[in-house]
Structures are given as structure tokens and as C-alpha cells.
Structure 1
Amino acid sequence: MAVFDDIGYEDFRQMAMDDSLSPHEKIGFPNAYRDAHEAAIFADIESKLANLARRSQNVLDIGPGCAGLPRLLMDACRLREHSLVLIDSPEMLAHLPDASGVIKLPGFYPDCNDALQPWIGRFNVIICYSVFQYIFVEASFWKFLDLSIQLLAPGGQMLIGDIPNVSKRKRFFASDAGVRFHQDFTQTSEVPHVDFRAVEKDKIDDAVILGVIMRARAQGCDAYWLPQGESLPMANRREDVLIIKP
């Protein structure tokens, strides 16, 4: 099963109800991309969000899905006495256990303003992992960003993680390492075609990520473009953005 970047909220609702799919496949990943990698992925997330290590924080996870990562987050929040809000489709949220200190808000972010009004300015941590590419196509990503910044408390941190960046992907597959990776993966001697001048419709590139960083900074936040840890399965073509409200 391939990684799908051209599906949306309603597709994921249907996938969540498909019992023939594994938890990873329900969220658009082949098992090989997440099996045995989730602990490393969560460690990378924790390394970038210092507030997660504190106690009694308010945490928001946008689009957690139903695989292992939200369960790791739930465990960490329970140990540190955090309040955790999960926003996703009701079909996805139904796969996650109910727990003390966990609030499930069904809906499509950012079109859930009413439910989030009591949380304006209160979240110490916001996580949006492997989700931004779908919001980018299906919603206003400025609305997504503006609402997220409103939700952050002073000193709050937001990680927009695992962003597929076609510019980074092109740079990688134009390199010797990228050619070797492609040939090992396909078991061929094929050299991947790379066109740096082509603009790929509905795909995130360097310009989009720079736009997110600059808009966050224009609203008084610090924002940083970060690499993923080398051990992560898609680190050679995905990146993270960290936003901090002073």
C-alpha cells in the first residue's frame, strides 16, 4: 500500500471503518513505514517540544489517527498529568481508548471553532503530525495556522511535523544517495527523473513552508524549519516546523 497524499477527511473516515486495513493503513501508511518506527518518531517529537516534559500542561493533537503514536502520547500525558484534547473524525477517535484527562472532539480542523473557543490561549503544546498535507489541499491553511496560533498559550509550542516537501524530495533524488535509495527500493538500475522547474499541483514545497514560517513570525511567534532525526523512515523527504509563542 502506498503513502497517499491525495485523499481527504471523508476518505479517512471510510478507511477508519475498513476492517481489512491495519491501523497504519487506516491513516494512509504502509505497515513498513510505521511498524517498529513509532517509538523513534515519538522520541523525535518529544525532543522538539520541551513543554511535553513539563507537568500539568494542556496538549492538543490535531488528526491523531488511530495507530500507535496517539497511544504513546496518551501514555506520556497520563504520566505527566497533562490534559489532552484529540481532534479527528468520530470514526478515527472510536479506535482510541477513553481515558481520564483525555477529551475527544470529533470534527474537521480548523472548521471546529465553536468547540475550541474555551481553549483559546490555553494550549501549551499543539501537535499536527503527518496531517498538514491534507489540510493544505482541503482547507485554508492560513485559517489552520491562524487558529492554531490563537490556541497557543504564552510560551506554547506547536509542531507541524512530518511535512512531505517536494523540494526536499527532488534534492534528495537528484543526489547520489537518492539515486542509490531509489535503485535499492525498486531493485532496478533506473535513475529517478527530477525536474526542479516543475511546480507540482497541490503539493507542499519550500515556498509553502517558508510562507508558514513567515506568517507565524508576522503574528509575533518564533518559527523554525527543522530536520527529522535520521533514523525516521521518511527523514530524507519530510521536514518539521516548530512554532513558539513568546
Structure 2
Amino acid sequence: MLDEFQKNSIKPYIEMAKEKKIGLTQSAGRYAEDSGKEEFIWKDIQEKLCLVQSGSLLDLGVGFGPLASKIINYCIKEKKTGYFYDIPEVIENLRTEWSAPNIYFLKGFFPYDAGEFLDSDIKFDSILVYSVIHYTSKPFEFIKEAARKLKIGGRMLIADIPNVDKKGRFLCTENGRKFHASYKKIPLNEVPIYKDQADFVLKNENQNKVINDQLISKILVEFRAFGYDVYVLPQNEDLPFSKTREDILLIRNY
């Protein structure tokens, strides 16, 4: 069952889907000025997941922006099995745009509505969770359930993670403040000063604070104990939020 945080987190996307605001960079949680950077994001995803060697992909929280278009079209063109999971309002829009024998759309709020899918025998070479994990209040449980669908030898990329501690480390530096001022097109003296990352975390209530260093460490330790290789990866500099976000790659060994 969704809690209030989760219900509130998806409201903007429900409204955009109802208004048919498909294909916009903003519909994927990025800013309008980042339009066009999906090409860099897609290249980064392909490299980290080694998609050229993959026959099947599960995209959890696919969305309906330009990145979703690239991923779905890639699966169709390259004849790779693609399963795309998102809230009903998003999936209904995608179904009006794409239809192919190797493409499947699943609707619901993962993992709460995914019992039948999770219990099915189908597994994937690749699983993508891009800029999604901060919309849940139980990120570790989300990742653990998703990993059930990974084949032995498969790769799962949890990407664009807005680690609040990482963001705080960056924005409490002079370089971070200058970057923020330039990005937001505001004077430097309007950018808050934080004494350290803990000060940033304390003073910013609009962050999902369960997405933090502790979560990253828990994923590393526990999934390695489960038999996965786990890597924390930086984002390329040409990605929209590379200064404040990071990725995790899971590789299932057995």
C-alpha cells in the first residue's frame, strides 16, 4: 500500500500524463534547459548495462519523456524483449504511441501491484531503474524486489540517485555554490551557505532523506552478501545532475 509520501511524489506525473504532456524533458523530472541531454543519458545507460550484449530489458518507472522514447525504439529496432513498468496514467499514454510483438507494458506502482509479475518465471538480462528510486519511501525494498527479476549474469542499473549527502557535500563547497548559481542563473550571494553536508541535509526539507550514504552503503554490503558484484559509479559530466547524483550497478553472479 502506498504511503502519503509515495502518493504525493507521483501526483505531478499523473497530472502531466492526463494532460498528454508526452515527450517533454520536464515529464521525466528534469528541467527544460536540460532538453536534448537525453542522448548523453542514453549513451551512459547503454554502456553501463552493456545493452549490446543483452536480449531483454525491464525498465521500472520508464516515464514518458524523450528518454523513454529512445529506450522503447531501441528495443523495437534491435528486436530485444522490452518490459516497461509505470503508473497506469503513464502506461496508457505509452500504449497509444507504441505497439510491437516484443514490447510489453505493465501498469501499477512497483512493487505493491507487481505480485503476479514478480512471481512469474520471466527474468531479464538487464534491469533499469533510472531517476526513480527517490519516489519511494522504501528504496531498499524496491531494489530487493526488482533484483528478483534479474537473470544470472544479468545487470541492474539503479541510476540518477539523488543521494542527499552527496548533494550536501557538493553544495557546501565554494565550487558547488558557484555551479549552483550559474545553473540557476542567480547571484552567488543568493545561494545558501552550508557549513557541511549535515547542515545541508538538516535545512532542506524538500529532499527524500532516506536516499543517503547509509542507503548506498547498505546496498553495497547486503547485495554483495547476496552474491552480487556491486559498484557505485559516477555519472559522466555531460549528464544533467552529474554533480549531485550517482549510479549503482548490480551484477548477479548466482
Q: Which residue of 2 aligns with 1:192?
A: 192
Specify whether residues 71 and 21 from structure 1 end up closer, same or farther in structure 2 by C-alpha distance, changes over 3 A only.
closer
Q: Which residue of 2 aligns with 1:8?
A: 9
Q: Which residue of 2 aligns with 1:221?
A: 228
TM-score normalised by the chain length of structure 2: 0.84
TM alignment of 1:81-92, pairs within 5 A: 81-92=79-90
Q: Which residue of 1 aligns with 2:77?
A: 79
Q: CA deviation at 1:62?
A: 0.3
2:118 aligned counterpart, secondary structure: helix
Aligned partner letter, 1:244: I
Q: CA deviation at 1:46?
A: 0.8
Q: Which residue of 2 aligns with 1:115?
A: 117
8 Å CA contact 2:229, 2:251 repeated in 1: yes
Instruction: Provide the alpha-carbon RMSD of the alignment.
Output: 2.2
- Structure 1 segments, 4+ long, off by >6 Å, are none
Distance 1:22 1:123 in 2: 26
Q: Which residue of 2 aligns with 1:48?
A: 48
Q: Which residue of 2 aligns with 1:99?
A: 99
Q: CA deviation at 1:131?
A: 0.3
Unaligned segments of structure 2, at least 5 residues: 1-5
Distance 2:141 2:212 in 1: 19
Specify whether residues 231 and 32 from structure 1 end up closer, same or farther in structure 2 by C-alpha distance, changes over 3 A only.
same
Q: CA deviation at 1:26?
A: 3.1
Task: Pick the structure with more helix per residue.
Answer: 2
Distance 1:59 1:12 in 2: 23
8 Å CA contact 1:164, 1:238 repeated in 2: yes
Unaligned segments of structure 1, at least 5 residues: none
2:63 aligned counterpart, secondary structure: coil
Specify whether residues 67 and 143 from structure 1 end up closer, same or farther in structure 2 by C-alpha distance, changes over 3 A only.
same
Q: CA deviation at 1:31?
A: 1.6
1:8 aligned counterpart, secondary structure: helix
Aligned partner letter, 1:40: F
Q: CA deviation at 1:87?
A: 0.5
Deviations 1:18-52 (A, max 9, x none): 3478733333332223x1100100001111011x1
Q: CA deviation at 1:80?
A: 2.5
Distance 1:119 1:240 in 2: 28
Q: CA deviation at 1:6?
A: 9.5
Deviations 1:71-130 (A, max 9, x none): 11122222332110001112111222232211001111111121332245x211000001
Specify whether residues 80 and 175 from structure 1 end up closer, same or farther in structure 2 by C-alpha distance, changes over 3 A only.
same
Distance 1:182 1:54 in 2: 38
